[in-house]
Structure 1
Amino acid sequence: MKIHLKRLNENYHFETVNERGNVIHLDNKSEPNPQGASPMELLLMGIAGCSGIDIVMILKKQQLELTNLEMDVEGFRVDGAVPNVFTRIHLKITIDGEIPENKAKRAVDLSLEKYCSVAKMLEKTAEITTEVILNGSPVKK
């Protein structure tokens, strides 16, 4: 797995390209008009995408009809810490479809506890918590 990074301006705006040609822009979020996501935002996007792929795959293997999947991810850091790593990450996962509550919860748990490589890396420094909403109702833990 490889990416290429190129600086695009005199400050912190970068373009990254993977081996398949997909482009992601990065920037320093402290800039007046950032032109891309910050590296720490990309980590949150990474756990959302990784877990989202797992959840869809797990539910598809069970032949369950998923009509919608959305995720809000929030990362928490200690102000002024150097390096300023995430100490807690919370995922609010909204699932819609003809899916039993226990299967939705199990898919989320399997993703974060077993399959999601990003979560497994981040759990070394951050507590990862979840909240699952199924068809508009919270799923009990």
Structure 2
Amino acid sequence: MKITLNRLNDNFHFELKNQRGHVVNVDSRPEFGGDDQGPSPMELVLMGVAGCSAIDMISILKKQRQQITSFKADVEGARVQVGEAKPFKDIYLVFYLEGNIQEDKAAKAAQLSFDKYCSVSKTLEPTATIHYKVILNGFELEKL
């Protein structure tokens, strides 16, 4: 896996491209000297956790022939000061699923994602605690 970065202005606006040609812009907020032309690198980390776990969960549920009509997620990160850096200490995800999905299968899909499959959350696991819950058809599920 390889990513290339190209600076686009005199501040912190960058274009990042993967080997398949997909492009993401990254920047910093104006209060930190940027021009707000894209998400910050830390926002991309949160996007990575949400996207990785969503792919896992949908893949698992599709294999179990569950009918997903809507899949959304909210993710928030709480950071802590460590020297000059502010890494994530806690990451909170809420998944909103709708469709003809069995409760136990939805809960198990989330559990498997975070316990076994999601490489992004596994990468962050040594330094951040990931908390999640699943809301299925408007009702919060109990964790397994």
TM-score bucket (shorter structure): over 0.9
Equivalent residues, number? 141
1:134 to 2:125 alignment: no
Q: State the 1:80 CA deviation.
A: 7.1
1:122 maps to which of 121, 124, 133:
124
1:55 aligned partner, one-letter code: M
Query: 4+ residue runs of structure 1 moved beyond 6 angstroms?
Result: none
One-letter amino acid of the counterpart of residue 89, structure 1: I
Gaps of 5+ in 2: none
Mark the runs of 5 or more structure 1 residues left unpaired by the alignment.
none
When residues 81 and 135 of structure 1 are mapped into structure 2, their CA distance, relative to the original with a 3 A threshold, is: farther
TM-score by length of 2: 0.93
**Aligned with residue 67 of structure 2, among 60, 65, 68:** 65
Structure 2 counterparts to residues 1-141 of structure 1, below 5 A: 1-29=1-29, 30-31=32-33, 33-79=35-81, 81-141=83-143
Please give the alpha-carbon distance, in whole angstroms, between the structure 2 residues aligned to 1:81 and 1:55: 36
Residue identity (%):
51
Q: 1:79 deviation in Å? A: 4.7
- Partner of 2:17, secondary structure, is strand
Computed over aligned residues only, the root mean square deviation of the Cα atoms, in angstroms, reads 1.3
Secondary structure at 1:76 match in 2: strand
1:74-93 CA deviation, whole Å, 9 max, x = no partner? 00012575221100000011
CA distance in 1, matches of 2:28, 2:97: 32
After superposition, give the CA deviation of every residue in 1:61-108 in whole Å (9 maximum; x if it has no partner).
101111111010000012575221100000011111111111100000
Paired with 2:59 and 2:19, the residues of 1 have a C-alpha distance of: 24
Secondary structure of the equivalent of 2:94?
A: strand
Pairwise CA distance, 1:21: 0.8
